[in-house]
Amino acid sequence: MLPAGTGSVVCPFNELLQTLGKPHTLQILYGLNIRSPMRFSEIQNLIKVQPKTLASRLQELTKLKLIDRVAFNEIPPRVDYSLTQKGKDLSIMFKGLNEWFRKYNAD
């Protein structure tokens, strides 16, 4: 879709694509698709990412409402991350991409 007078394409899901294209984002979603909920340290151990980067990605995914962050009032503090329904629905798209990848990259 081209807005009048701009001559450029406006992508309605640009923010989502920018976030998904960042390092470790897809691995986080994939990990939470396999097992959910997970704690911060479990995600970090699964994908081997720096804590600062992981915290940033989790915040972005929470902002996009792809994951839920639930903090428990416990000692020591506990925070669980899980896919929202929106995140689960996006994971269905990954299955299609996986099939496409296998079909065209089998050689």
Q: What is the pLDDT of residue 107?
A: 60
Structural domain that includes position 65? 14-104
Check which CATH number belongs to the domain holding 48 and give it: 1.10.10.10
**In a domain? residue 2:** no
**In a domain? residue 71:** yes
25-59 pLDDT, tens per residue?
999 999 999 899 999 999 999 999 999 999 999 99
CB of 40 closer than 8 Å to CB of 54: yes
**In a domain? residue 82:** yes
**In a domain? residue 9:** no
CA-to-CA distance for 103 and 36, rounded, in angstroms? Answer: 29
The pTM score is: 0.81
**In a domain? residue 6:** no
DSSP code per residue over 34-85 = HS-SEEHHHHHHHHT--HHHHHHHHHHHHHTTSEEEEEE--SS-EEEEEE-H
